[in-house]
Amino acid sequence: MSKPEQVWDQTWHWMADDIVYNYKKSSTGSALQLDDRTLQNPVLLEIEELLQANQRSLRDYPSMPYPEDANCPSYLDNSLILAELNYNNQELRSEFKHLFSHMTDEQASIYNQIVEVVNKDEGDMFFLYGYGGTGKTYIWKTLASSLRADNKIVIMVASSGIASLLLPGGRTAHSKFKIPIPVFEDLTCNIHQGTQLAELLNQTSLIIWDEAPMAHKFCFEALDHSLRDIIKHNSKDNKIFGGKVMVFGGDFRQILPVIPRGSRSDIVNATINSSYL
């Protein structure tokens, strides 16, 4: 075949038809939106697998695109990733446009700073402090609608079940990250390499943790230990939270970690700002 790239350009949509079908069949709804780049990668992975079985590779054809990561697992069987991608991009863009247009200058500055770090994919940690009614949840929703509209994965959790209900796609931190109970020093989450949850965290662009002051510092440290262990980018192995962008929020004037029969100093020592993080 003298011009494989022409055949690819004319036929890749057909090859992707069953991929789209499987995505929508496995997801919780039919609104899943996938751009061309997202669809092409699993098709290229399938082609690369077939070629390697015959001692060939897409690299033998310089005019052909190559999958972004030929060793990464396909998303087709990962229901957790499918669920996080199961959003209507057009609706999200409209929602973001509305939310962003009503932001204050301070809120917009916070939003821009976080999105800039997410786009650089260098990892960082933020804490948004403010009492109830100052617009923290508004910023969370704006961040989520913006990034999810670009098919980026945003995990939103809260320390309490009530708070998680206010977050789009929100869960409690203990449920999402499988944080054991009770917590203690040097704890790790029940997340194992190679599982769907581990792969989801690998592909996540942003993690938002609301009402963080309510949780014991060992909860955050457990997630830090686990992310450092499962994140696949060797250059980020020693970075806090495996090089993921983490955004915490809350008000230290509200409920702090509950320490049975603990003294004031015990409670203060259990808060996130007493952690090595």
Q: HEC string of 187-223? A: CCCCCCCCCHHHHHHHHEEEEEEECHHHCCHHHHHHH
Residue 103: CATH number of its domain: 3.40.50.300
Q: 156 φ, ψ to 5°?
A: -120, 120
Query: What average pLDDT does range 234-262 have in this prediction?
Result: 82
Encode pLDDT of 75-84 as tens digits: 556 778 878 8
| Mean pLDDT lowest among 23-32, 125-134, 148-157, 238-247 | 23-32
Query: What average pLDDT does range 93-120 have in this prediction?
Result: 94
Report pLDDT for 73: 45
Q: Decide which of 178 and 233 is more confident.
A: 178
* Boundary-marking domain end, from 42, 58, 85: 85
Task: Pull the structure tokens for residue 209.
Answer: 């943790």
* Boundary-marking domain end, from 43, 62, 85: 85
Number of domains present in the structure of the chain: 2
Q: Which long-range contacts (CB under 8 A, 24 or more apart) does 22-25 make?
A: 22/76, 23/75, 23/76, 23/82, 23/85
Residue 41, class by beta-carbon neighbours within 10 Å (0-12 exposed, 13-18 middle, 19+ buried)? Answer: buried
Residue 110 and residue 77 in one domain: no
Residue labelled with tokens 């209900």 = 165
* Boundary-marking domain end, from 85, 118, 135: 85
What range does the domain containing 35 cover?
4-85
Encode pLDDT of 33-66 as tens digits: 566 777 787 788 888 878 877 777 888 888 888 8
Binned at pLDDT 50, 70 and 90, residue 72 comes out as: very low
Query: What average pLDDT does range 2-17 have in this prediction?
Result: 84
**Residues 6 or more apart in contact with residue 103 via CB below 8 angstroms:** 111, 138, 139, 142
Tell me how far apart the alpha carbons of residues 203 and 101 are, in angstroms, rounded to a whole number.
29
pLDDT at 121 over 60: yes
Q: 109 φ, ψ to 5°?
A: -65, -45
Residue 80 and residue 95 in one domain: no
Tell me how far apart the alpha carbons of residues 110 and 106 are, in angstroms, rounded to a whole number.
6
Tell me how far apart the alpha carbons of residues 186 and 163 are, in angstroms, rounded to a whole number.
27
Query: What average pLDDT does range 243-252 have in this prediction?
Result: 90
The pTM of the whole model exceeds 0.85 = no
Query: What average pLDDT does range 231-239 have in this prediction?
Result: 64
Q: Quote the mean pLDDT of the chain.
A: 84
pLDDT at 71 over 50: no
